[in-house]
Amino acid sequence: MARWALLATLLAVVVIMLGAWTRLVHAGLGCPDWPGCYGFLTVPQDAASIAIAEARFPDSPVDVSKGWPEMIHRYAAGLLGLVVFGLAFYGFRHRHEGVPYKLPLALAAFILLQGAFGAWTVTLKLWPQVVAAHLLGGFTTLTLLTLLTLRLWGRRSERTPVAIPAVARLRPWLYGGIALVVMQIALGAWTAANYAAVACTDLPTCQGQWWPEMDFAHGFDITQSVGPNYLGGQLAAEGRVAIHVTHRIGAVVVLVYLAALFAALWRHGRQARLGGAITLAASALVGQILLGLANVLLSVPLAVAVAHNALGAGLLLTLVYLMWRLHGYHLGIQVRPTTIKNEATA
């Protein structure tokens, strides 16, 4: 079950990256219906199928290059759903053997909700509120799968008492860091959903000004209407600039906060054997900041934008892993691998 949970976690990363790819190539409405594409299981390509598809949806001409990114994303998400349902079934069936089942069942329910948001993304024509919620749901699914994986692999370990109060005291600050990263991810989702990534094309200023003209009320209006569809966005320039600048400010806040937190953790890193986890999280933070800068300077190239989305997930997961490791020290225990000899003796 631990191996399948790890597979599901890796697959969730792929689904998030495919979702970013679909959004960045403007293929969110490549198929006007859900879960199929113009009523087919695959994208219609031959002349007869295209004629049928356009007769069914006369307002949505077939664009094969836009349909395939959307359907590939759906296939991957469907496969992830099947793996999660399998985990939930296995966990529930073997619950009397001490196998975790509540978290897998919660994940299965959440996958159904994610499927609904996927459908609403299409039927509500890329309404930003739904698009942003769907992206956040993907990150939530990935986080829960990571926690399940860590819990299952942790069952294969023994714990030895230790006492490091200085490390344990930093746990609330780590929770604060995770909360800040989640809020920054939400801002990134709102930026992407409103096509505000290219609202500022220079650094460190925006449009040559330190504080350009911005309309925060318009940019963060969650009651905005969609119109025929929201492909390409409908916000005025001032609204998009407000979103972009807010996302930049959030990045600076996250960078300063996490840098201070990692420095505090590093002072006790050797004693607590957390050096590897801290280095991993710090590397993800630096990489994410560099990718964000590259997005602005290079006008959001596809590869960089997808990597920025993926590493955002990576930063969150490294913090979750660090939290999991730190949790043991808060309880006065340290997780250490169980050797084959110890297992045989037991």
Structure tokens at 51: 């004629």
Rounded CA-CA distance 33/23 in Å is: 16
Rounded CA-CA distance 17/76 in Å is: 11
Class of residue 128 by CB neighbours under 10 A (exposed 0-12, middle 13-18, buried 19+):
buried
Within 94-212, residue ranges assigned H as helices are 102-123, 128-154, 165-168, 171-193
314 sits in the region (left: phi over 0; alpha: psi -120 to 50; else beta) called: alpha
Rounded CA-CA distance 222/310 in Å is: 26
Structure tokens at 30: 């490549």
Residue numbers annotated as active site: 70
Class of residue 56 by CB neighbours under 10 A (exposed 0-12, middle 13-18, buried 19+):
middle
Rounded CA-CA distance 24/299 in Å is: 12
Give the CA distances from residue 86 to residues 105, 113, 137, 148, in Å, rounded to whole numbers and listed in that order.
Answer: 10, 17, 20, 14
Return the sign of the alpha-carbon dihedral for residues 207, 211, 217, 221.
positive
Longest Cα–Cα distance of the chain, Å, equals: 71
Q: How many Cα neighbours within 13 Å face the side chain of 197?
A: 26
Strand partners, 37: 40
Question: Which residue is associated with the tokens 């913090």?
Answer: 319
Q: Is 161 helix (H, G, I), strand (E, B) or coil?
A: strand
Rounded CA-CA distance 225/161 in Å is: 57
